[in-house]
Amino acid sequence: MNFGGFLACSFSDYPGHLAAVVFAQGCNFCCPFCHNADLLAPQAGPLQESDVLTTLRERRRQLEGVVVSGGEPTLQPDLPAFLIELRRMGYQIKLDTNGSRPEVLRALIAARLVDFIAMDVKAPWEKYSELAGVPLKPERLQQSVALIASSGLPHQFRTTHVTLLLSPQDMAAIRAQVPDGSDYRVQPFHPEHALSPALRK
């Protein structure tokens, strides 16, 4: 795994669990409102996987879970092996994803390597390329939404409300894209670290 950051302890990233957060380096989106711009490039991150695993082994008695965030973790071929190591340590595992790789999600769910999945639903399907910052078709994202919702796992869909980019009508359309019975959260936008200078105020 290629890591760009590590948070030793979080009370808020994994609902109901005291957890560490590891940030995978590299993302296939380029959202203008992204606040983790240092994680976008697929370059070698500053942290070695062996060092991350050593720290997590040392903190097993203090922590309950590990959140694997990013960047986009599902881009990394070593993700399943890393999650297996977390399993061996007895951690509960939460995965944060943009939903762009449903085939990876399907394999992780089938292998029982995740306990909680959070997926960002960034925009109405017809506006997704604008909010993701790259041209894309929404079909794969829709597959991921359906897969997560039907997985039987605790899960959450979430939207960062960027008022300059998403109208009230857009927010209503996004909510309609989330399956009934799934947890949905709207997150505040913090502009000071936005990737796009136009959004920083």
**Average pLDDT, stretch 127-153?**
97
- pTM of the model as a whole: 0.95
Tokens representing residue 16 in the block: 């109901």
Q: How far apart are CA 13 and CA 154, in angstroms?
A: 14
Sequence-ordered list of residues with C-beta below 8 angstroms from that of 9, at least 6 positions apart, any chain: 18, 19, 20, 62, 63
Q: What is the pLDDT of residue 42?
A: 85
Q: What is the pLDDT of residue 44?
A: 78
Q: β-pairing, 155-161 with 65-69? A: unpaired
For 150-177, how does the pLDDT look when each residue is reduced to its tens digit (9 = 90+)? 999 999 999 999 999 999 999 999 999 9
Q: Is 147 helix (H, G, I), strand (E, B) or coil?
A: helix
- Residues 62, 18: contact at Cβ < 8 Å? yes
For 81-122, how does the pLDDT look when each residue is reduced to its tens digit (9 = 90+)? 999 999 999 999 999 999 999 999 999 999 999 999 999 999
The dihedral formed by the CA atoms of 188, 1, 98 and 42, expressed in degrees to the nearest 10: 90
Bridge partners (DSSP) of residue 93 are 66
Q: Phi and psi for 54 in degrees, rounded to 5?
A: -60, -45
Count of C-beta atoms within a 10 Å radius of residue 194: 20
Q: What is the pLDDT of residue 45?
A: 77
Q: How far apart are CA 152 and CA 177, in angstroms?
A: 19
The confidence band for 193, taking pLDDT boundaries of 50, 70 and 90, is confident
The CATH class, in words, for 3-199 is: alpha beta
For 8-67, how does the pLDDT look when each residue is reduced to its tens digit (9 = 90+)? 999 999 999 999 999 999 999 999 999 988 999 988 778 889 999 999 999 999 999 999
Residue entry with tokens 């399993």? 87
Q: How far apart are CA 98 and CA 80, in angstroms?
A: 17
User: Above 90 in pLDDT, residue 201?
Assistant: no
Sequence-ordered list of residues with C-beta below 8 angstroms from that of 116, at least 6 positions apart, any chain: 14, 15, 92, 93, 94, 95, 153, 154, 155, 156
E-strand ranges in 2-112 read: 3-10, 19-24, 65-69, 92-97
